Amino acid sequence: MKTIKSLQEKRNTAILLIFCPDKQGILSTVTEFLNKNNGNIIYLDQHVDREEKIFYMRVEWELEGFAIPSDKIGEYFETLIGSKLQMNWKLYFSDNTPKMALFVSKMPHCLFDILARYTAGEWDVEIPIIISNHEKLKPVAERFGIDFFYFPITKENKADQELKEIKLLKEKKIDFIVLARYMQILSEEFVALFPNKIINIHHSFLPAFAGAKPYHAAHERGVKIIGASSHYVTSDLDAGPIIEQDVTRCSHIDTVQKLIRKGRDLEKFVLSNAVYKHLQRKVLVFNNRTVVFN
Amino acid sequence: MKTIKSLQEKRNTAILLIFCPDKQGILSTVTEFLNKNNGNIIYLDQHVDREEKIFYMRVEWELEGFAIPSDKIGEYFETLIGSKLQMNWKLYFSDNTPKMALFVSKMPHCLFDILARYTAGEWDVEIPIIISNHEKLKPVAERFGIDFFYFPITKENKADQELKEIKLLKEKKIDFIVLARYMQILSEEFVALFPNKIINIHHSFLPAFAGAKPYHAAHERGVKIIGASSHYVTSDLDAGPIIEQDVTRCSHIDTVQKLIRKGRDLEKFVLSNAVYKHLQRKVLVFNNRTVVFN
Amino acid sequence: MKTIKSLQEKRNTAILLIFCPDKQGILSTVTEFLNKNNGNIIYLDQHVDREEKIFYMRVEWELEGFAIPSDKIGEYFETLIGSKLQMNWKLYFSDNTPKMALFVSKMPHCLFDILARYTAGEWDVEIPIIISNHEKLKPVAERFGIDFFYFPITKENKADQELKEIKLLKEKKIDFIVLARYMQILSEEFVALFPNKIINIHHSFLPAFAGAKPYHAAHERGVKIIGASSHYVTSDLDAGPIIEQDVTRCSHIDTVQKLIRKGRDLEKFVLSNAVYKHLQRKVLVFNNRTVVFN
Amino acid sequence: MKTIKSLQEKRNTAILLIFCPDKQGILSTVTEFLNKNNGNIIYLDQHVDREEKIFYMRVEWELEGFAIPSDKIGEYFETLIGSKLQMNWKLYFSDNTPKMALFVSKMPHCLFDILARYTAGEWDVEIPIIISNHEKLKPVAERFGIDFFYFPITKENKADQELKEIKLLKEKKIDFIVLARYMQILSEEFVALFPNKIINIHHSFLPAFAGAKPYHAAHERGVKIIGASSHYVTSDLDAGPIIEQDVTRCSHIDTVQKLIRKGRDLEKFVLSNAVYKHLQRKVLVFNNRTVVFN
């Protein structure tokens, strides 16, 4: 089932994501560089964290008519600006569709939501593979025409299986990973290979109820609101930089089962929103916190 | 792709939905009737509209051990209670899975969301058919293994095509219809055959922006919040009883295209919630307003 | 500045709050008791916790024409129903205006919000006294014409001062206490005297960020939503039964100071809502969780 | 009752609010102008409406060390930049506290909320006068130490009374007006004198339920969410540019009276938020829509 039709207009643009120590004139330096080289800016957002004294910026401009060839932009920018201002920057081209791998276990709701958006052309992404530690969702992958790889995990084979997964991810040139309710903890070694490139959904309003069985814990505590949180995975469980959160009301009439049902909708919504922001290159990470541009 | 596994525990219960003129003792009359016949009540919610002086009730009880045979409950209830209290009541059995028809046009997001829930076993429903005035979403229906019927509509053939649709709906014993962004107005005659049995999603916060192009209108007006509304279809366009509404924030940075994107998520969420409430037999309609039990 | 005008219609009603082990027929037993004695029910809400097997109920009926004299209702109810069904019940009369004491420290926003509602007649309550461990808000109390008592607290004098506070609360016949950003921890002994009668506002989405400086902690963690929680005070800090919670979005642009500003509005809104629910006798506590009737 | 203590750090800054036809280089032109004259930018937000081709910007910088004297900034900016780029701009100085007049009728909740924030030092504003067409809220004004002016309005005296009000507003050097549930329609002539300087709160989610009795209309329509909207007043009733909106859930159990109660909290919250944004000079109006900077 190929994409019905892309809802994304393809644009021929470049995107710069920047952060660096704040000082006067960074913004005008960057915008002047683009203007002088005839780069028509179509998006600009910036933020200064005045406590940490860090300047953050996302700028996107049209490549058509831009004086610097695309394959030289990075070099020129680093030489003329980046190195002088100690910038940490990344350059993306909007015609370069990123490749995403999906990790799932048994619960299908996030998987379905992502594949529906993918098939409907809501996102500019390729999903070459789905990886799972269970076989249950294989039929879903098949019907959407996506290769499904089964890697059962035990304490004993975990290291080996992860090596195979990593090999596969490299072969397929995967850019980032989405854990769509994948109920296995990735090893530190695995995580270290994909810094800020593994997006997880945790079924609570973090930092409340980190770890296992958050809906049971929420019910036990008698909260009046439940939530879901999407974050980049770090070696510290459920403690990585948060990309997106959302909540919904609950009450004494909600059993754990009802919380789980309500939570499913939150989870898929929050995860898909986080993936969308990531795909748009609108997320920067510094100090275990995210800057998410508008 | 059959349902992965039902997430709904099958229960052998009966559900009564009641409304009637309010007076003292209705509640104890009904609960006594169930108690005396050994009906274990597992859900009870009631509401009195003190302005209109109407009593509303939803009660669900276990059939196992209930003294009155299932096929006699209606008769007994009407004779002993309903007729005396001028009740408007409906009786449902939870082991009777309702049949739903989906009407779609070109936009797939609501369709995907409903089929994903269906396939994942979130809902106790059967979806035998999808009807459309376009062929575009046929592939989606096929992959989910659901029969797709194409009824192109023109001004000239509308009456005829609707008759064919009605014939098909009867053949398939359809209980209710969900318009999942179906972009055709159903005729008064059609609507009259399915009173409070056609659920629509309108892509605005009704009554604001009824009619065509609500996102354009919302953008033009400069609202700071957009919404979606699910309602039963009546002959009065976008004016039927509202089942569910939800909203999300927007701002000056949101173009019409961005509002449409944000709205898609609202639409599918609101429509699916409304269908779920309907499936649970938790919606009553009186005076063009709904009572939606918890 | 006396109450401008009460917005509350005075009603001559009785309210029963009940919980007990669940079994068949409780609801009809209670409603029959009221009906047979000519008590016109104007509110009824009930809930069965099927896991804990507890029945909860709130019922309100008009005293005019009720066959049992008001001062005998409790005795009759206990004899005829309560004792047989092992009920834990409380009886309230709506013409009995409860007396509330406010505890404050230096921050005025919750205090102002409560006094504004009080003065505007939004609540059916009397506020005879404001108690504080600082003198800063004395002028506010004076302008609203409420007696202000200053009890500075040190480690050494805490036990003594609390005894004086308790004496004052008894003299003034205070029914319940609201801690409107009172920044002192009450002793276990103090708390034990007012079980489920001390309402606190904590400036986080509990159980996240319990304890001191929650906005700093929220900023440090990089959450995308902040909250406030109102709960009954128990001897376990910030761990009492939650009455009400609410949240608001934040982002990377929000400094700690901005979170504090946004949080102020949440705090006053959540605390006032919790107090309102308490005043309406709509909150029941069991197992460190609340049932909050609609 | 003077302000308890200002919660606003006083900053010695200048603020420029700009909009103009979009073209390349505006942003770098403005930031260069400030940088070259040693203006340390502490806030910058900009937006390009690509449909209307309008550039919007808010920039704030420290005056200390700025090369151009404060009283010359406007002239220099217009000469060197504004006139060349056909800019519509306004310059504000943060040490210039604006003067606000409050218009009220009989309902005190918005008035109390504003006066509480004012007294608590939440806002950098002066409120020299309260104007009303009723005497009811005079005691509130007195207790907060603010001059209260009573202008009863009849069809016959309306024009005259408005002239007196205008005279008073000029005498008191009022910068902008807040209608805190003022239940009189201002004449076109009055409104024309204060373009985008009169902030109103309407008790519905505009454009739904404009005009009188919105809660009655919302109840009648059976909506599941109610709202409030704050907007600048134009000669077109309830149709001016929206600054802020918010909503809350309701259901079949909410009578009109309960909607009014819930709505009060929305109204005061939304109005105060809109006033705060206005006070921060974060609102621009173009084409009957607002740009509200973050």
Give the mean pLDDT of chain A.
95
Query: Which chains have 3+ CB pairs within 8 A of D?
Result: A, B, C
Size of interface B-C (CB pairs under 8 A): 39
Closest-CA distance, B120 to chain A, in angstroms, reads: 7
Domain boundary among D93, D109, D143: D93
> pLDDT grade, residue B24 (50/70/90)?
confident
Record: contact A32-D35, CB cut-off 8 A? no
C255 CA: distance to closest CA in chain B (Å): 21
Mean pLDDT of chain D: 95
Q: How far is CA D35 from the centre of its chain?
A: 30
Is B139 in the same domain as B77?
no
In a domain, C251, yes or no: yes
Active site residue C238: yes
Residue of D58, D106, D112 for testing the chain C interface, max C β-carbons within 10 Å: D112
Same domain, B150 and B47: no
Question: H-helix or E-strand containing A28?
Answer: helix A26-36
pLDDT of res. D5: 56
State the Cα–Cα distance between residues D127 and A127, nearest whole angstrom.
Answer: 59
Q: DSSP characters for A131-175? A: EESSSTTHHHHHHTT-EEEE----TTTHHHHHHHHHHHHHHTT--
Residue B222 belongs to some domain of the structure: yes
- Asked if residue C3 is part of any domain, the answer here is no
Torsion of CA C114, C115, C117, C118, to 10 degrees: 120
pLDDT band at D112 (very low <50, low <70, confident <90, very high): very high
> Distance (Å, rounded) from C-alpha C190 to C-alpha C155?
15
Look at strands C99-104 and D198-202 and give their pairing.
Answer: unpaired
Mean pLDDT of D50-79: 96
Encoded tokens for C44: 């009824």
Q: Taking 80 as the threshold, does the pLDDT of residue B112 lie above it?
A: yes
ipTM score for this prediction: 0.94
Cβ A245–C251 below 8 Å, yes or no? no
Which two tokens mark D3? Answer: 């302000």
Domain shared by C64 and C157, yes or no: no
Task: Give the pLDDT of residue C6.
Answer: 59
Euclidean distance between CA atoms A234 and A192, whole angstroms: 8
> Read out DSSP for D20-38?
EE--TTHHHHHHHHHHHTT
For residues A72 and A153, state if they share a domain: no
**End-to-end CA gap in chain D:** 32
D211 neighbors D238 (Cβ within 8 angstroms):
yes
> Using a CB-CB distance cutoff of 8 angstroms, which residues of chain C are in contact with residue D1?
139-140, 143
Confidence of residue D25 (pLDDT cuts 50, 70, 90): confident
Chain B residue numbers touching C224 (CB-CB < 8 A): none
Between CA C257 and CA D186 the distance in angstroms is: 38
**Which member of D25, D27, D35 has the closest CB to residue A24?**
D35
Q: Do both D52 and D155 map to the same domain?
A: no
> Of A239-253, B43-57, B157-171, which gets the smallest average pLDDT?
B43-57
Q: Residues D238, D246, D254, D265: which is the catalytic one? A: D238
Q: Mapping DSSP to helix (H, G, I), strand (E, B) and coil, where does residue A91 land? A: strand
If asked whether residues D251 and D116 sit together in one domain, one would say yes
- Pairwise CA distance, residues A268 & A281, whole Å: 20
Which residue range forms the structural domain that includes residue B209? Answer: 99-292
* Dihedral angle over CA of C139, C143, C149, C150, nearest 10: -10
How long a stretch of residues is chain A? Answer: 294
Omega before A128 cis (within 30°)? no
Please tell me the distance from the alpha carbon of residue A87 to that of residue A106, in angstroms, as a whole number. 43
* CA–CA distances in Å: residue A239 to residues A206, A208, A236, C215: 8, 11, 5, 17
Contact B288 D222 (CB under 8 A): yes
Task: Annotate B51-84 with b (16+ C-beta within 10 A) or e (fewer).
Answer: eeebbbbbbbbbbeebebeeeebbeebeeebbee
Residue-wise pLDDT for A221-236, tens only, equals 999 999 999 999 999 9
pLDDT score, position C5: 56
Asked if D35's CB is within 8 angstroms of A28's CB, the reply is yes
Place D7 in a pLDDT band, splitting at 50, 70 and 90. low
Kindly list the residues from chain D whose CB atom is less than 8 angstroms away from the CB atom of residue A24. 35, 40-41
Cβ–Cβ of A143/B143 closer than 8 Å? yes
Query: What's the pLDDT tens digit per position in B80-110?
Result: 999 999 999 999 999 999 999 999 999 999 9
Residues pairing with C69 in the sheet? none
Q: How confident is the model at residue C3 (pLDDT cuts 50, 70, 90)?
A: low
Q: From residue A122, how far is each of A8, A273, B74 by CA, in Å?
A: 7, 11, 49
| Tens of pLDDT, residues B7-18 | 666 679 999 999
**Per-residue pLDDT reduced to its tens digit, D144-194:** 999 999 999 999 999 999 999 999 999 999 999 999 999 999 999 999 999
| pLDDT band (50, 70, 90) for residue D77 | very high
C-beta atoms of B252 and D47 within 8 A: yes
Residue type, A212: A
| Record: contact B253-D208, CB cut-off 8 A | no
At which residue do the structure tokens 């919904």 appear? Answer: A248
Domain total for chain D?
2
Q: CB-based contact (8 Å) between A208 and chain C?
A: yes
Residue B173 and residue B264 in one domain: yes
In a 10 Å sphere around its CB, with 0-12 CB exposed, 13-18 middle and 19+ buried, how is residue C62 labelled? middle
Does any domain span residue D74? yes
Q: Quote the CA–CA distance of A205 and D207 in Å, as a whole number.
A: 34
- Residue A286 CA to residue A54 CA, distance in Å, equals 9
In residues, how long is chain C? 294
Domain end, chosen from C64, C93, C122, is at C93
Q: C25, B35: Cβ pair inside 8 Å? A: yes
CATH number at residue A238: 3.40.50.170
CA distance C180 to C108: 8
Structure-token pair, residue B241: 């009883």
Q: Subunits touching C (CB < 8 Å, at least 3 pairs)?
A: A, B, D
Over residues A110-116, the mean pLDDT reads 97
Residue D200 lies in a domain: yes
Please, what is the angle between helix D214-221 and helix D256-279, to 10°? Answer: 120
Which pLDDT score is estimated for A25?
A: 86
Q: Which residues in chain C are contacts of A288 at CB distance < 8 A?
A: 222
Residues in chain D: 294
C-alpha to C-alpha distance for D69 and A76, rounded to whole angstroms: 39
Asked whether the predicted pLDDT for residue B142 surpasses 60, the reply is yes
DSSP for C196-212, please give it.
Answer: T-EEEEESSSTTTT-SS
Label residue A69 by pLDDT band (50, 70, 90). Answer: very high
Q: Does C247 touch chain B (CB under 8 A)?
A: no
Residue that terminates a domain, selected from D69, D93, D117: D93
Say whether both D136 and D160 belong to one domain: yes
Tell me phi and psi for residue C139, to 5 degrees: -60, -35
C267 CB within 8 Å of a chain A CB: no
Residue C216 contacts A where some CB pair is shorter than 8 Å: no
For residue B245, give the nearest of D225, D246, D252 by CB distance: D225
Q: Is D6 contained in some domain?
A: no
Nearest CB to A44; choose among D32, D40, D46:
D46
pLDDT of A9 above 70:
no
**Given CB atoms, is C261 within the 8 Å cutoff of chain D?**
yes
Q: C78 and C42 in one domain?
A: yes
pLDDT in tens, D243-268: 999 999 999 999 999 999 999 999 99
Q: Is residue C5 part of a domain?
A: no
- Classify residue C6: in a domain, yes or no: no
Q: Tell me: the pLDDT tens digits for B187-221?
A: 999 999 999 999 999 999 999 999 999 999 999 99
CATH of the domain at C73: 3.30.70.260
Q: Which residues of B are catalytic?
A: 238
Residue D246 to residues A147, B183, B250, D226, D227, Cα–Cα distance (Å): 45, 30, 11, 9, 5
- C49 contacts in chain A (CB < 8 Å): 252
Cis peptide leading into A207, omega within 30 of 0?
yes
Are residues D135 and D215 both part of a single domain? Answer: yes
Report pTM: 0.96
Q: What's the pLDDT band for C25 if we cut at 50, 70, 90?
A: confident
Q: Which one of B19, B219, B246, B252 would you mutate to disrupt binding with D, by most D Cβ within 10 Å of its Cβ? A: B252
- CA separation for the pair C224, C250 (Å, rounded): 5
* Mean local confidence (pLDDT), A130-156: 97
D36 and D51 fall within a common domain: yes
B19 and B113 share one domain: no
B2 has pLDDT over 60: no
Residue A25 sits at the chain D interface (C-beta within 8 Å): yes
B119 inside 8 A of chain C by CB = no
Q: Answer whether A265 touches C (CB < 8 Å).
A: no
Helix (H/G/I), strand (E/B), else coil: D119: helix
Q: What are the angstrom distances between the C-alpha of A88 and each of A31, A91, C220, D182, D235?
A: 17, 10, 22, 53, 52
Q: For residues C58 and C291, is the Cβ–Cβ distance under 8 A?
A: no
pLDDT for C236 beyond 70: yes
From D25's Cα to the closest Cα of chain A, the distance in A is: 6
Q: Is A32 on the interface with D (CB under 8 A)?
A: yes
